Amino acid sequence: MHDSSVAVHGETHNPALLHHFATEEQQRDASSLGMWIFLGTEVMFFGGLFCAYLIYRLKYFGDFGAASKSIDATLGATNTAVLICSSLTVVLAIWAAQTARRALLISMLVLTMLFGLAFLGIKGVEYNQKFEEHHVPGASFSFDHVPIPGHPDQYANPRHAEIFFALYFIMTGLHALHMIVGLGIFTWLLVMAWKGRFTPEYHTPLEIGGLYWHFVDIIWIYLFPLLYLIDRHP
Amino acid sequence: MSMATTTVQPVERENYLNKHYGVGSWLFTTDHKRIALLYLISITFFFFIGGFFALLIRLELLTPAGDLVQADTYNKLFTMHGQVMIFFFLIPSIPAVLGNFLVPMMVGAKDLAFPRINLLSWYLYIIAGIMMLHCMLTGGVDTGWTFYTPFSTAFSNTKVIEAGLAIFVSGFSSILTGLNFVVTIHRMRAPGMTWSRLPLFIWAHYATSIIQILGTPVIAITLVLVVAERALHLGIFDPKLGGDPLLFQHLFWFYSHPAVYIMILPSMGVVTEIIACFSRKRIFGYTFVALSSIAIAVFGFLVWAHHMFVAGISVYAALVFSLLSYAVAVPSAVKVFNWTATLYKGSIHYDAPMLYAFGFLGLFTMGGLTGLFLSALGVDVHVHDTYFVIAHFHYIMVGGALMGYLGGMHFWWPKISGKLYPEGWARLAALIVFIGFNLTFFPQFILGYLGMPRRYYQYPPEFQVLNVLSTAGATVLAVGYLLPMIYFLWSMRYGKPAPDNPWNAAGLEWKTSSPPPTFNFDEEPVVTWEAYNYDELDAQTNKEEVPVAR
């Protein structure tokens, strides 16, 4: 099929236009709609977890508060800032492609990936803390004698706190997995940008890669308050 | 229009089947028609595996005593029958085979919007299939296809993790197919192919795709939680550790009830095409049939807890879910009435596809009406987890979905293979399937009503007569399923070459050659007519006196 694709469209053929699309506009619309729908499936994917979180947060209100308070909110806040900066650099990268600034485009893509790596590094530090505190669910889990916020005479139930940490690790773990996939996508975008494939007319991969990156950011924007901030009042 | 009347040329012209040869040209193809055939082969393979489990189940139930297999083995048999038939046959059946083949052609496109993602979805299916086969060969799984916790996460000694991951992977295959269809239907329609001119097959697939896109991710994350809980001994669903097993059931059925509509909606689309063609009439109430597909998809998401009436949900929740379950019957009934109204004063032809469509009409109506019994709170308590439920959903999934699939395979076989199947044998097979099906499953309604529970390998002797009838019916049914496979394969070599439009049917897929060229149409089609313009088609045919192969 690859050999025949050129013949169909004749001389004005853009190499990025696939054989089954009539126009570049149709191809761009299809790609972008495809990514939006994919993000819809991602919302439902994380939605199941958010639903489980909601149920147990209501059921084990105080235990979740105590467990949440044991996480280092400073690291979480730093990561939030890092991700918001990375979203800005993604937008700037697209702008650079639209205005044909190749050097800026490449540096913005590199910067985005550095922010992404920084996020994962900080996440690793946080996981390590939890590991050392025996807050990783499993045989060595312990959460004894931790008072419930607002009720200094009551201790959190370790079983219920363990559910919080199970959700914490699954939710942030899946989010981190999405970040790693995002880094893979951006490596590919960087190679394409390096080869000068993106023009003001054609930069669809940047746009849909950017959509994905923003989506992963937004998931974090919801995870951060739910996991880190639910019981921080003095 | 003139293309529709082209006769068969003596020299075989270039088409998607003969353009390239060799294994590589199939395994690395991005042609939606070839991928449809890859799916056809794969799902047929899994259909016979699932059928093999069904056969063993029916053999065990031939006698009241547990003699052929023991309880542990029986648990595995019905579990793997369900998992294979649902996730590896019914969910991909019509969308991935007929949908893949027809959606681009029906909207007048050269291919699906994302051909490489389409191929990826087949590979995901194959990876999932291999995982499932490996799971079955190394011990299987015994949780029931529903994976209910905490049995699946804390007590079962079988390969729950492997089966869960296999179904997780197969889910992404299903999501990608749905995504591809939605984008194709939105963005790839030929000039003049407006939404109101789309075949109702397309509307049905659009509704199906919405469920695949929005429902499947939820079962995926639920299975992730089950696997994590079992592997790491977490307590998310285990009441002993503070978890909530009802949460699992809610999440599971949030997908698995709409999944029934993934199976039945495409079949409704197929039946709509067949009934219009073989009644030679415009479909009655096009807009209502189209929108009822969407309505079924939407309502389908709001009824899941009717699987949990006896599981301990609140009475008020149960009342609401009962009411909403009744509501789903409305768009389904709209379809049945509109099909019947299409038949009225039509010029009806009793070819094999139409026989399957008639079978669908009757069996789906039976399945639907017994569904109303089950959405009634009081009756459901009585027949919950009995053979009444088994009979009900087999009337929908086998009597409905599978009849539609077979009808569609016969209807489009000349287009897919370029050969005509033997009509006499096909009518006989349709009849055998219908009789065998009713003989298998009607006795199960009575068994369930009398109180025989599902998932037991032995039963009191007074149930034996009805069980023997059911097993006998399953044997007849097996003959009915083997026949089409044999004569379809036979026709590929010995069948008469098919004309481009053997049924003189409306629809863009009939305006290209049989089998179609790789890019579907020699020139881009421009649509200037309404859907199902059978009156115009027949008027033209009578004028030109073109012989119709029938």
Nearest CA in chain A to B19: A1
Query: Which residue of chain A is at minimal alpha-carbon distance from B111?
Result: A20
- Give the tens place of pLDDT for each residue, A47-80: 999 999 999 999 999 999 999 999 999 999 999 9
Question: What pLDDT is stored for residue B2 in this prediction?
Answer: 41
pLDDT above 70 covers what percent of chain B? 97
Give the length of chain B.
550
Note whether A159 contacts B524, CB cutoff 8 Å. no
> In b/e form, how buried is each residue of A101-136, taking b as 16+ CB within 10 angstroms?
eeeebbebbebbbebbebbeebbeebbeebeeeebb
Mean pLDDT for the stretch of residues A169-193: 97
Residue of B220, B232, B235 with shortest CB distance to A45: B220
Is CATH 1.20.210.10 what the domain over B31-544 is classified as, yes or no? Answer: yes
Quick one: pLDDT band at residue B526, thresholds 50, 70, 90?
A: very high
pLDDT of residue B3: 45
Q: How confident is the model at residue B469 (pLDDT cuts 50, 70, 90)?
A: very high
Encoded tokens for B471 = 């097993």
**Are residues A160 and B242, on separate chains, in Cβ contact within 8 Å?**
yes
Q: Using pLDDT thresholds of 50, 70 and 90, give the confidence band for residue A19.
A: confident
Closest A-chain CA to B32 = A20
Task: Name B314's Cβ contacts closer than 8 Å, sequence gap at least 6.
Answer: none
Contact of B313 with chain A, judged by CB distance below 8 Å, is answered with no
From chain B, the residues in CB contact with A44 under 8 A are 213-215, 217-218
pLDDT band at A234 (very low <50, low <70, confident <90, very high): low
SS3 label, residue B268: helix
* pLDDT of the residue at A152: 85
Whether this model's ipTM surpasses 0.95 comes out as no
Question: Which of A20, A46, A137 faces B109 most closely, judged by CB atoms?
Answer: A20
Q: Is the pLDDT of residue B288 over 70?
A: yes
Query: Chain B, 453-512: which have a CB under 8 Å from a chain A CB?
Result: none
The CATH T-level fold of domain A25-228 is Four Helix Bundle (Hemerythrin (Met), subunit A) (1.20.120)
Distance from A49 to chain B by nearest Cα, in Å?
7
Residue A212 with chain B: CB contacts under 8 Å: none
pLDDT tens digit string along B387-408? 999 999 999 999 999 999 999 9
pLDDT at A10 > cutoff 50: no
Q: Do A41 and B114 touch (CB under 8 A)?
A: no
Query: What would the 3-class secondary structure string for B372-432 be?
Result: HHHHCHHHHHHHCCEHHHHHHHHHHHHHHHHHHHHHHHHHHHHHHHCECCCHHHHHHHHHH
Domain ranges of chain A: 25-228
CA B297 – CA B440 distance, rounded (Å): 29
Kindly state whether A24 is in contact with chain B, defined as any CB-CB distance less than 8 angstroms. Answer: no
Q: How confident is the model at residue A16 (pLDDT cuts 50, 70, 90)?
A: confident
Give how far A45 is from chain B: nearest CA, Å. 5
* Closest CA of chain B from A180, distance in Å: 18
Checking if the pLDDT of B12 tops 90, the result is no
Contacts of A37 in chain B (CB under 8 A): 179, 182-183, 213
d(CA A179, CA A186): 10
pLDDT of A13 above 70: no
Contact status of A177 with chain B (Cβ, < 8 Å):
no
Decide: B261 and B302 in contact? Cβ < 8 Å.
no
Whether B1 has a pLDDT exceeding 70, the answer reads: no
First to last CA, chain A: 66
Rounded CA separation A151/A81 (Å) = 32
Mean pLDDT of all residues belonging to chain B: 94
Q: What angle is formed at CA B339 by the lines to CA B333 and CA B343, rounded to 5 degrees?
A: 145
Cβ–Cβ contacts within 10 Å for residue B302, how many? 16
Residue found by looking up tokens 């697209």 in the block:
A94
β-bridge mates for residue A148, sequence order: A151
Q: Is residue B482 within 8 Å of residue B476, measured between CB atoms?
A: no
Query: Count of A–B CB contacts within 8 Å?
Result: 117
Judge: B242–A166 Cβ closer than 8 Å, yes or no.
no
* Distance, CA of B430 to chain centre: 17
Mean pLDDT of all residues in B112-122: 97
- Contacts with A45 from chain B: Cβ below 8 Å: 217-218, 220-221
What confidence score (pLDDT) does residue A159 get?
A: 93
pLDDT tens across B248-273, in order? Answer: 999 999 999 999 999 999 999 999 99
Helix (H) or strand (E) holding A148: strand A147-148
| Residues A134, A135, A137, A142, CA torsion sign | positive
Contact B273, B218 (CB under 8 A): no
- Asked if B519 is an interface residue toward chain A (Cβ–Cβ < 8 A), one would say yes
Bridge partners, residue B453, by sequence? B386
Say what the pLDDT of residue B11 is: 60
Mean pLDDT, rounded, for B114-129: 97
> What is the value of pTM for the model shown?
0.94
What's the pLDDT score for residue B7? 52
A34 to chain B, any CB pair closer than 8 A? The answer is: yes
| pLDDT for res B306 | 95
Nearest in space to B550 (alpha carbons), one of B407, B349, B345, B412:
B349
Query: What ranges do the domains of chain B cover?
Result: 31-544
The Cα A27–Cα A17 span in angstroms is 7
A51/B214 Cβ within 8 A = no
pLDDT cut 90: percent of chain B above it: 93
